[in-house]
Amino acid sequence: MRLRVEFTTEPFDLDEAPAHAVVAREIVTGAQLDAVDVGPFGNTAEGDADRVLGAVDALLRRSLAAGATRVSLQVNVIGEGRQAGPAHGEGDAT
């Protein structure tokens, strides 16, 4: 399974990247993920589920330790293995 993670860390500083943002970016760029895109207000990365989830764990722990007061993230399943609807046996029980 492949995942895409989108995240931001706060508080923002428009003059200089705060330590928590630098740490978060170092984690995703060093995690052997695909399609890493870092920017001042949002970051995305894609890759194998295990690598993405490992990076998310490290990102949360280390960016909070570096002073982040909020981390917003979204994780989506992409690519192979994705089905158009709920898997058999999942969904509405009505």
Question: How far apart are alpha carbons 46 and 77 in whole angstroms?
Answer: 10
Q: Which residue has the higher pLDDT, 7 or 91?
A: 7
Give which of 3, 8, 1 is closest to 75, Cα–Cα: 3
Q: 44 phi and psi, to 5 degrees?
A: -135, 155
State how far Cα 82 lies from the chain centre. 18
Helix (H, G, I), strand (E, B) or coil at 23: helix
Judged against a pLDDT cut of 50, whether residue 56 lies above it is answered with yes
- In terms of pLDDT, which residue wins out, 60 or 14? 60
Q: Please indicate, yes or no, whether the overall pTM of this predicted structure exceeds 0.85.
A: no
pLDDT tens-digit readout, 66-75:
999 999 999 9
Count how many residues are written for the chain.
94
Percentage of the chain beyond pLDDT 70 is 84
